[in-house]
C-alpha cells in the first residue's frame, strides 16, 4: 500500500482542542477534492471531537439506543454507529489510492495493520476478526460472554469512504475516552463484546505517546511522511 517512488511525502497534521464534527467533514471534503485534482499532498489529520455519535452507511436505527444522549451525525463512511469524544484519537487518512493500490480491501487491511503495529508499541495485542469490523483485544480477565466464548473488547474502529480513489474518514483508537459514552449505541452493530481503551487496560499512555507511535508505524505501511507537523 506504499506510495509509488518519487511521490510527495504525506503531510501530517495534529489539531489541538476539540474539533466540531461538521467542520472536520467539510475540511476532509475540500482536501479530498484537492488531492484528487493534484492540488494538495496526501494528508493524515489527527483530531479529537466533542462527544457525538456518527452513523455509517450500514447503520441500523435500532442500534441507536439513546438518540438524545449526544448529537448524531449521518456520514457517508462505511460501517454502522460509532462514538467519538475526548480521549479518543481520530485519524482522518486522505490518501490517493490511484498512486498506491486501487484495492479497497487491501487499504482496509493496511489500516488494520497500522493500528495493530501501533498498539504493539505498547505491548497490546490487537487482532482482526473476520465477522467484526475494527481491532480487538482479548480479555481473559473478564467473564466469558458464553461457555467457551471469551470476552473481547474493541479498542479501535475503522470507517472509510473513497471518492475518485482518494480516501477520507479513517480510524479511531481509544486512549482514555469515557467508556460509558458507548452505551448509547450498539458500537458497530456488535453485541455481546465490549469496548476498551489503552488506559482501561492499565497502560498510562497519553495522546502524545500514541501520536508518536502512529507516525512511526505509518511509514512502514504507507510510505514517508513530511518532516514538518502543521
| Residues assigned a catalytic role | 188
- CA angle (94, 99, 100) in 5-degree steps: 80
Query: Are residues 43 and 13 in contact, defined by beta-carbon separation less than 8 angstroms?
Result: yes
Name residues whose C-beta falls within 8 Å of residue 34's C-beta, 6 or more positions apart in sequence.
40
d(CA 80, CA 55): 5
Only one residue has cell 480479555, namely: 139
Q: Which 3 state secondary structure label does DSSP give 222?
A: helix
Q: Which 3 state secondary structure label does DSSP give 68?
A: coil
d(CA 128, CA 106): 14
Only one residue has cell 493496511, namely: 110
**DSSP-derived secondary structure for 207-219:** HHHHHHHHHHHHH
Residues in the chain: 230
What are the cell numbers at 84?
A: 467519538
For 122, phi then psi, to 5°, come to -110, 20
Query: Are residues 132 and 80 in contact, defined by beta-carbon separation less than 8 angstroms?
Result: no
What are the cell numbers at 158?
A: 475503522
Amino acid at each position: 500500500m506504499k506510495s509509488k517512488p518519487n511521490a510527495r511525502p504525506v503531510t501530517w497534521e495534529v489539531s489541538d482542542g476539540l474539533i466540531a464534527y461538521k467542520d472536520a467533514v467539510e475540511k476532509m471534503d475540500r482536501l479530498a477534492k484537492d488531492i484528487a485534482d493534484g492540488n494538495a499532498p496526501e494528508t493524515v489529520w489527527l483530531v479529537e471531537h466533542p462527544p457525538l455519535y456518527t452513523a455509517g452507511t450500514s447503520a441500523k436505527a435500532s442500534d441507536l439506543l439513546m438518540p438524545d444522549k449526544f448529537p448524531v451525525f449521518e456520514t457517508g463512511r462505511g460501517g454502522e454507529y460509532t462514538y467519538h469524544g475526548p480521549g479518543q484519537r481520530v485519524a482522518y487518512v486522505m490518501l490517493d489510492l490511484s498512486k498506491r493500490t486501487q484495492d479497497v480491501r487491501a487499504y482496509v487491511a493496511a489500516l488494520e495493520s497500522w493500528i495493530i503495529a501501533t498498539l504493539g508499541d505498547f505491548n497490546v495485542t490487537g487482532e482482526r476478526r473476520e465477522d467484526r469490523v475494527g481491532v480487538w483485544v482479548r480479555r481473559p480477565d473478564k467473564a466469558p460472554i458464553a461457555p467457551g466464548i471469551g470476552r473481547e473488547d474493541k479498542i479501535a474502529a475503522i470507517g472509510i469512504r473513497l471518492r475518485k480513489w482518494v480516501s477520507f474518514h479513517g480510524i479511531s483508537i481509544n486512549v482514555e475516552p469515557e467508556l460509558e459514552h458507548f452505551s448509547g449505541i450498539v458500537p458497530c452493530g456488535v453485541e455481546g463484546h465490549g469496548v476498551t481503551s489503552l488506559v482501561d487496560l492499565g497502560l498510562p499512555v497519553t495522546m502524545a505517546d500514541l501520536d508518536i507511535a502512529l507516525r512511526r508505524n505509518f511509514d512502514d505501511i504507507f510510505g514517508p511522511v513530511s518532516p514538518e507537523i502543521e
